[in-house]
Amino acid sequence: MTELHVLRVFCGPDGTAGNLLGVVLDGPAVPGSAQRQRLAGELGFSETVFVDDAARGVVDIHTPSVQLAFAGHPLVGTGWLLRQSGLIPGPGVDGPAVLQPQAGEVPAWQDGEFSWIRARASWASGRRTLRHDTPAAVDALTVPPPGTGWLYAWAWRDEAAGKVRARGFPGRGDGIDEDEATGAAGIILTGELNRALDIRQGIGSQLLTRPLPDGHVEIGGRVFPHEVRTL
C-alpha cells in the first residue's frame, strides 16, 4: 500500500489557502519517469513529489505535464513532511536538512511556524515577472492564453514594508490555469528586487522571502496537512 500525503503549502496567517501538494514518501513504489508523470497528471496538483531517498533528501518533482529540476512550494512542503515524519537527517525534528532535487542541494529548516528553504535564484528561471500599478489591477487580471509562458503578475501593497500582491499563471495548458502559491516565482521576484518580501498570492496564501548576498534566496511559509490517500 502506497500513501500519498496531501499538504497545503504557504497557508495564510489564519491557516487557510495554501497550494495543494502531493508527496509520495515511498518514491520507489512509483518507478520510472513515465509512470510518475502519469500519476502527477491524474492527481492534478500543481506539483507532486516522489521521495526517492529520505535520508539523503533525494526528491523528484513533477507537474501534471513536466518534470522540474527545482520548485519552491514542493520543497518547502516536503521538508516539513520529512521533519514531521522523523525522516530527515540532522539533530531532531527542528534540525537542518538538505533536500536534493535535480537542480542541486537545498537546505530546509523550521523556524517557528514557518518552514524554509534556501536556493539559487538562477534555478527558478523561466518565469516572467510583470509589475502592475495597484493590487486591484492584479486582482482584475484574467488567465492568459495557454502557451504564453509562465507569468508572475504583481504590485506593491506597501512598498516601504516590502508587501506584495501577486498572482501566478503557469501557461502550460495542463489544467493549472493559476497557481495558488509559487515559491520559485517568489524567489525570482526577490532576486530582481533584491529585498525581503511579504507576498500575498492567490486567494490568501502568504510567502516570506529574503535575499542573500551570494545569489541565494530564502523562502518560507506555513504548511498544514490536508489528507492522506492510498494510491
Same domain for 135 and 76: no
pLDDT 10s digits, 190-228: 999 999 999 999 999 999 999 999 999 999 999 999 999
Same domain for 71 and 9: yes
**Secondary structure percentages of the chain, helix, strand, coil, to 5:** 20, 40, 40
Answer yes or no: is 111 within a domain.
no
Which domain, by its residues, includes 147? 123-219
Same domain for 207 and 142: yes
Same domain for 76 and 14: yes
Average pLDDT for 119-148:
95
Would you place residue 89 in the very low, low, confident or very high pLDDT band (cuts 50, 70, 90)? low
Average pLDDT, the chain: 94
Given a cut of 90, is residue 97 above it in pLDDT?
Answer: no
CATH, residue 170? 3.10.310.10
Same domain for 79 and 8: yes
As for how many domains the chain has, the answer is 2
Q: How far apart are CA 59 and CA 141, in angstroms?
A: 34
Strands (E), the chain: 3-11, 19-24, 47-53, 58-62, 67-68, 97-99, 106-111, 114-120, 127-131, 150-158, 163-169, 197-201, 205-211, 216-230
Same domain for 16 and 64: yes
Same domain for 127 and 90: no
Largest CA distance in the chain: 51
What values do phi and psi take at 208, rounded to 5? -110, 135
Answer yes or no: is 109 within a domain.
no
87 versus 193: the higher-pLDDT residue is 193
Q: How far apart are CA 40 and CA 191, in angstroms?
A: 29
Given a cut of 80, is residue 141 above it in pLDDT?
Answer: yes
Same domain for 82 and 30: yes
Same domain for 215 and 129: yes
Same domain for 213 and 142: yes
Same domain for 99 and 11: yes
Answer yes or no: is 113 within a domain.
no
State the pTM of this model: 0.95
Tell how far CA 83 is from the center of its chain: 17
